Amino acid sequence: MSRNKAITLVMELAQINDQTAAENHFDYLVRKKHLIGVKNFGRTVKAQATTTKRTQIIIDQQLRWHTCIEEALEFQQRVNLPAEEHEKVKDHFLGNLDETCLMANADGSVRVIASQAKKKTEKNTDDSRTSITSLQIGLASGNQGPFTF
């Protein structure tokens, strides 16, 4: 949790509305190292930015993709006759595209009060819906296609 959330928690536990008194009490607890069970006795630590929107390619998906590509190349070889002519130009018909998504996020300097039991502290800061995607196309022949945003 952030420092402000910790101070709000102190206000709720003490059932007071005085923010300054809660801040002073929280600072006292940190200074006297009474907050056991949290890293640095309550001093804030830097949180590693993370996101909940993760994708993962699994082995079955890779196998399906490679099988599909192999079948497409075999089909091209079989239907494009004469084979000698097709061999000269086949690299112009095999392409790839690269998609890059740039997400807006916090500046990465998020500091939180972290549990001592956890080795790594993460904070969801990269869940912004603001993004831009770029798409670049290239062919096996070395020719570059369009670069699109």
Token readout for 13 is 């536990």
What confidence score (pLDDT) does residue 102 get?
A: 73
Q: Is the pTM value of this prediction over 0.95? A: no
pLDDT at 68 over 80: yes
Q: Which residue has the tokens 């998906």?
A: 61
C-alpha of 84 from chain center = 47
What confidence score (pLDDT) does residue 21 get?
A: 92
What confidence score (pLDDT) does residue 43 get?
A: 81
The mean pLDDT of 56-80, rounded to a whole number, is: 87
What confidence score (pLDDT) does residue 20 get?
A: 92
Q: What is the pLDDT of residues 16-27, one digit of tens each?
A: 999 999 999 988
Q: What is the pLDDT of residues 112-146, one digit of tens each?
A: 777 777 777 666 665 656 677 888 888 888 888 88
Cis peptide before 146 (omega within 30 of 0): no
pLDDT at 67 over 90: yes
Token readout for 143 is 């020719």
